[in-house]
Amino acid sequence: MADNKKIRLAIQGVATLIQNANLKGFFEGKIYTGPGKKICVPGLNCYSCPGAIGSCPIGSLQTFLTKFKIKIPYYVVGLLLFFAAFLGRAVCGFLCPFGMIQELINLIPFPVKKNRFKGDKALRYLKYAILAACVIILPICFKLTPFFCKYICPSGTIAGIILAITDSAIASKLGAIFTWKVIILISILFSSLIIWRPFCKYICPLGAIYSLFNRVSLIRLKVDENKCINCGKCAKACKMCVDPVKTPNSGECIRCMDCAKACPEHAITLNVTEIKSHSGKDERIKGEQ
């Protein structure tokens, strides 16, 4: 495994450990309910996971929208905007526990490995439909029903499995809905053997939110046109099927930097854009990281 992949995997591992630092919960089967749960973590990490010390932003957003009297979730939206405006989909590439799980599964040898196929581009829009329907519209229409968490979220399914293993009383209460979610989880995990991060590409509503900010986030890609020789190696290396030369800040880019590793001319860099005021006007100053 290349050094940059090892570094990113290490960062993912540390981020996952921090977001699930209540280690005793895995042994006791009890959900942490301390003050940390008032704060949303950046990645998809279920509130009900025994190790979780924070709340999932998608779950928190639905909690507000499913109440009988809808309240505007200012702090949830504020944190989402903060993560999105600063990192964009770099959150997906470095800080999401379920993203890491998919990547680890994809490392397992399998006869078929396929990221590009007919219908892939159309499927990319599915996550936006799930965001609109299951995270926003349906929870508003049907009170006390967080649709994405209840019927789809694979992270929540993993949390449920852990709780069921540690508490037989919980296991006895699991029914048809949980069986349905296990089927979804197995399908996603099996697909991860073939396709790199299929949940992130086609289903994740959190990734859909972050993708909308990729072009304006403070951390973004830059392609040096003076160095680029248009060899196409960066596009071929991208497992999210992005062509960095044409769309360096595509909503699908998770900043994994495989493209930069593949570039023979080192034309692709990760930049931090700062906004400073000068003579009453905002100027964007790019500093290479």
The residues, ordered by sequence, that sit 6+ positions from 182 with a Cβ below 8 Å of its Cβ are 157, 161
pLDDT at residue 35 tops 70:
yes
What pLDDT score does 285 carry?
Answer: 37
Which whole number is the average pLDDT over 249-275? 90
Q: What is the largest CA-CA distance in the chain?
A: 67
pLDDT at residue 156 tops 80:
yes
- Ordered strands of the 268-278 beta sheet: 219-223, 268-278, 281-288
Annotated domain spans of the chain: 3-211, 219-288
Which whole number is the average pLDDT over 182-203? 98
In the chain, the amino acid numbered 56 is C
Comparison of pLDDT for 5 and 24, the residue scoring more: 24
Entry field: residues in the chain: 289
What pLDDT score does 283 carry?
Answer: 37
CA-angle at 122, arms to 116 and 126, nearest 5°: 115
Dihedral pair phi/psi, residue 10, rounded to 5°: -65, -40
What pLDDT score does 274 carry?
Answer: 54
pLDDT at residue 287 tops 80:
no
Which whole number is the average pLDDT over 131-142? 95
Which whole number is the average pLDDT over 228-245? 96
Lowest mean pLDDT among 116-125, 163-172, 224-233: 163-172
pLDDT at residue 72 tops 80:
no
What pLDDT score does 74 carry?
Answer: 86
Which whole number is the average pLDDT over 146-161? 96
Q: What pTM, to 2 d.p., does this model score?
A: 0.89
pLDDT at residue 282 tops 80:
no
Tell me what percent of the residues of the chain surpass a pLDDT of 90: 80
Which whole number is the average pLDDT over 90-102? 97
Which whole number is the average pLDDT over 74-80? 91
Q: Report the chain's mean pLDDT, rounded to a whole number.
A: 91
Q: What is the CATH number of domain 219-288?
A: 3.30.70.20
What pLDDT score does 281 carry?
Answer: 42
SS3 readout for the chain: CCHHHHHHHHHHHHHHHHHCCCCHHHHHCCCCCCHHHHCECCCCCCCCCCCCCCECHHHHHHHHHCCCCCCCCHHHHHHHHHHHHHHCCHHHHHCCHHHHHHHHHHCCCCCCCCCCCCCHHHHCCHHHHHHHHHHHHHHHHCCCCCHHHHHCCHHHHHHHHHHHHHCHHHHCCCCHHHHHHHHHHHHHHHHHHHCCCHHHHHCCHHHHHHHCCCCCCCEEEEECCCCCCCCCHHHHHCCCCCCCCCCCCCCCCCCCCHHHHHCCCCCEEEEEEEEEEECCEEEEEEEEC
Which whole number is the average pLDDT over 57-79? 86
pLDDT at residue 205 tops 60:
yes
pLDDT at residue 32 tops 50:
yes
